[in-house]
Amino acid sequence: MKNENTIKKLGHKVRIIRTDRGLSQEALAEKANLNRSFVGLLERGKTNITLKNLEQIANALDIDIKYLFDFIL
């Protein structure tokens, strides 16, 4: 399913940026005010994400939210 592929790509993008920033899943979760297990599920493409939570992650990574979707283009 195409939707599942998009979710996996988004999660992979979050993981790449997080590791480039030297953050653990726990540190990202804390900065984004989210649960660490949620961040893990997101990075593995196992959960869908709301726009609100995605914005929190983008803010925690100090990036514009649109950068998370560069993989789609």
CA gap 35, 69 in Å, rounded: 22
- Maximal C-alpha separation, the chain: 32
Let me know how long the chain is: 73
Q: What is the pLDDT of residue 71?
A: 77
From first to last of its 73 residues, what are the pLDDT tens digits of the chain? 566 789 999 999 999 999 999 999 999 999 999 999 999 999 999 999 999 999 999 999 999 999 999 876 4
CATH (domain of 20): 1.10.260.40
Q: Which domain holds residue 25?
A: 2-72
CA gap 2, 22 in Å, rounded: 31
Domain count within the chain: 1
Q: What is the pLDDT of residue 73?
A: 47
Residue whose entry in the numeric block shows the structure tokens 């660490």: 36
Q: What is the pLDDT of residue 2?
A: 61
Count of C-beta atoms within a 10 Å radius of residue 36: 14
CA atoms within a 13 Å half-sphere pointing along the CA-CB vector of 67? 11
